[in-house]
Amino acid sequence: MVTGLLFLSIFGPILAPHSLTSVLETQYTNGKVLAPPMEPFESSSYPLGTDKWGYDILSMILYGLRYTVFIAAAVTVIKMAFGTIIGLYAGTLKRTPGWLIAFENAWSYVPLFLILYFFLAPISFNSTLKQNVLIVYFIVIASVISIPSIVSSVRLKTAQLYKSVYVEAAKALGAGKHRLIWKHVFPQLKETFLVMFILEIVYVIALMGQLALINIFVGGTIMRYDPIIFLSATKELAGLVGQARLNIYGSTHILIAPLAVLLLATVSFSLLANGLKNRFQSNYQRTPWIKTGHEPLIRPSRKQYGRKKKFWSLSGPKAGFAALVIAFAGAGVYAVAAKNSNTGVQSGSKADYKIDLEMNAEGYFTANANIQLKNKSDNNWNELIFYFIPNVFKEGHSFDSVEGSSEAKIEKVTVNGQKASFKLDGDTLTINLKPEMKDKSRHKVEIQYGFTVPEGGSRFSKAGTNYYLAQWYPMAAVYQKGKWNKEPYMEGLETFHTGFSDFKVSYKLPEGYSLASTAEIDPAKGKNEGTVKAKKVRDFFIAVMKDMKVYETEAQDGVKVRLFSKGNHDKNPEASLTLAKKALSFYQNKIGDYPHEQLDIVLDEGQFMEYPGIVTINPYIDDKRFYDISIVHEIAHQYFYGAVANDPYNNAWIDEGITEFATSMYFYAGQNQAEQQAFGISHYRMEAIEEAGLGRQYSNVPVNEVKHTGYIYGQPALEILQMIQEKYTLKGESPKDVGMQFLSDYYQKFRYKEVDTKEFISFTKDYFSVPTGYFNNWIDTSKLNS
């Protein structure tokens, strides 16, 4: 039981289903109204119900338990350590000084919690002291004032033992005082101390409980007026009981739940102490001569002298203890792992790629892709679905932004070594699985195909002699919520959603070409054959280039920044490189580790686009400011796209909006520009929407419904900024710090996870303690639960 308790107190917050600040909002589900205070066992997500304000009781208990247990343990350790040492030495004094006894007696007369009350009453209510400081005060004061009682009991026991014959004998043999205490007296008392230790833990918890009943909560009391209520700042268990004291008349579960847990906690410690005591007592007690009604419960185990000492002998208690330790560790690992994998949107598939790519002098590429597709969902798959985007640019396509056209041909598809039938429709490649393969959890797909790159294409593009291979391979779609999440290709915003994959690409290029890619380490310039690798990336971009000048620098943590450019534009590559370095370093400092080892920036005609570890920028535009912003924007995407994934079709705003916010924050917080200027591009987008008379639209709409990209880029950035300006006082000193901290915490939490609108809302709600309705202005919150 104690092990379980310790487990809960260490891993409690990880297990908690809701955070302390998340509130049950009154809601209608299936015709039933859910409103706080909710009774226990009514809803599966609130097992112990909620309190009057809608906070989950189970979560509060799980958060509070650690305070209760650790504070109690800390107090006990301190007072036992000092108490026993002082007591042991005081017990060996020839004559105990009268004042000491008088003091002990006087001290034992005054109830300890009263002393604590008078200490804490002036400092606990709505204290300006920090919570931790208050806890430390409590620990120190509680230990100090309870030392005398420990001293007195240890002193009495020591004095008793000190008079015994064997101590006399040791004294006669010339043992010093310290030796007597530590070698003769202390070993005798060891077991008593152990029992005392555990009982004292219970005693400290009881002390905290008594204080809680008079509204002194450890870690501070938050007092609200009108009506006067007292709240525990730490949610420490005794505090929860205390603050729920008045619920005795109604909604008793608010009081009973923490009380029961507290009871369980103390009882488990008490039982442990009792068990140990019975054990020791039965070992050392003499058998009574008359019938007393107290028979020992356990058979005494006697020390057997003369038996050979073994390093490890298997015995029941030892094995039991070992099993407890193992169970403890195992449960801990499981809890952490489960919590980690439950963050973000779940994906039921994982793909890893091994691709051989060969380019001939005419610009025709042949490739052989070996894709390993893992089924992590509970369903069987009937088919495998891939994006095959080169196919949509075939002769006769209808995209305005693509000048030329491509050839794309899939030669052969094999699945698990057998030839498989497939269907190619637009960019959707459907591979049917044979019935006997449906229940396999791992599929090996081999696709042989060839393609050319359209002149002046969109992302997947040929610009002069350079080939930009974007989405050039069959990209496995993501299996989510029981189906393949595959939407048709559209011009403009990205429509392809991919998971994190490992890549190994071997390539062969004609003479004179070299390659820059997503890979961690790109080959040296001029090397036209080799292998590149990348781990945990969402896409693998390759730029096959000729006659490009390379500029290099280094950002924080040894991250290399390279810039590829031709000389025929008016932008200064050196300045652009410096800007990129500054932006990246800023993000590394403020948000977190850059997910790759190098960042490539390719300046050439085409789209402004981010890929993992590499971005493309068009330097041939007139708007210098937009050019600069784009560089920062694509770098920010390395965090909010590259590492924090999202479905770009259904939740496009998640990466674009947050990236735009992060971009503007670079200018706002990093460069100290005025807010209007830093967020100028977002304002500009919103003005454009207004001019076009488009009215309002939510940001969380699928891309085929988006009326203007401003709703995806500008609106979230401005709304997040406004939220931070309204709520920053909860988290820090200035909107700038809080904004960057928010991005950083968001990044750390969802790194290598997928986020959708719902995840974002629940994270942000929690972060700034706002209700769901707070986002109604720009997010359609009614769709969150579907």
**In the complex, which residues of this chain contact another protein (CB under 8 A)?**
98-99, 101-103, 105-115, 118-119, 121-123, 127-130, 133, 137, 202-203, 205-206, 209-210, 212-214, 241, 245, 248-249, 252, 255-256, 259, 262-263, 266-267, 270-271, 274, 285-294
Report, in Å, the least distance between residue 286 CB and another protein. 4
Return the DSSP state at 381: P
**Nearer CB in complex with another protein: 278/607:** 278
H-run or E-run covering 739: helix 735-750
* 434-459: b (≥16 Cβ within 10 Å) or e: eeebeebeebebbbebbbbbbeebbb
Joined tokens for residue 145: 């004032």
Report, in Å, the least distance between residue 262 CB and another protein. 6
Strands 560-565 and 549-554: antiparallel
**Nearer CB in complex with another protein: 93/267:** 267
Distance CA 404, CA 561 (A): 32
Report, in Å, the least distance between residue 119 CB and another protein. 6
Which residue from 663, 659, 553, 656 is spatially nearest to 601, judged by alpha carbons? 553
Report, in Å, the least distance between residue 40 CB and another protein. 15
Distance CA 610, CA 600 (A): 10
**Nearer CB in complex with another protein: 33/290:** 290
Inter-residue contact 604 to 566 (CB < 8 Å): yes
Residues 241, 247, 249, 252, CA torsion sign: negative
Joined tokens for residue 138: 């409590």
Burial of 691: CB neighbours in 10 Å, binned 0-12, 13-18, 19+:
exposed
**Nearer CB in complex with another protein: 99/305:** 99
H-run or E-run covering 357: strand 349-359
Report, in Å, the least distance between residue 297 CB and another protein. 11
Report, in Å, the least distance between residue 236 CB and another protein. 14
**Nearer CB in complex with another protein: 204/463:** 204
CA angle (770 as vertex; 768, 773 as ends), nearest 5? 145
**Nearer CB in complex with another protein: 26/285:** 285
Distance CA 191, CA 433 (A): 68
Distance CA 194, CA 276 (A): 8
Inter-residue contact 92 to 154 (CB < 8 Å): no
Joined tokens for residue 319: 């094995």
Report, in Å, the least distance between residue 80 CB and another protein. 19
Question: Quick count: other Cβ atoms within 10 Å of Cβ 111?
Answer: 11
Inter-residue contact 381 to 438 (CB < 8 Å): yes
Name the CA radius of gyration of the chain, rounded: 35
Joined tokens for residue 48: 């112990």
Report, in Å, the least distance between residue 138 CB and another protein. 13
**Nearer CB in complex with another protein: 252/360:** 252
**Nearer CB in complex with another protein: 101/326:** 101
Return the DSSP state at 250: S
**Nearer CB in complex with another protein: 729/748:** 729
The CA-atom distances, in angstroms, between 527 and each of 342, 532, 634 are 43, 12, 27
Inter-residue contact 648 to 495 (CB < 8 Å): yes
The DSSP line for 522-583 is PPPTT--EEEEEEEEES---EEEESS-EEEEEE-GGG-EEEEEE-S-SSS-HHHHHHHHHHH
**Nearer CB in complex with another protein: 85/248:** 248
The DSSP line for 493-505 is S-------EEEEE
CA angle (617 as vertex; 614, 623 as ends), nearest 5? 155
Contacts of 241 (CB under 8 A, 6+ apart): 209, 212, 213, 255, 258, 259, 262
Report, in Å, the least distance between residue 130 CB and another protein. 7
Return the DSSP state at 750: H
Report, in Å, the least distance between residue 204 CB and another protein. 10
Distance CA 453, CA 668 (A): 40
The DSSP line for 251-303 is -THHHHHHHHHHHHHHHHHHHHHHHHHHHHHHHHPPPPSS--S---SS-----
Residue 280: phi and psi, rounded to 5, are -65, -40
For 383-412, the three-class secondary structure string (H helix, E strand, C coil) is EEEEECHHHHHECCCCCCCCCCCECEEEEE
Report, in Å, the least distance between residue 252 CB and another protein. 6
Inter-residue contact 600 to 545 (CB < 8 Å): no
**Nearer CB in complex with another protein: 204/373:** 204
Report, in Å, the least distance between residue 16 CB and another protein. 23
Longest CA–CA span in the chain (Å) reads: 110
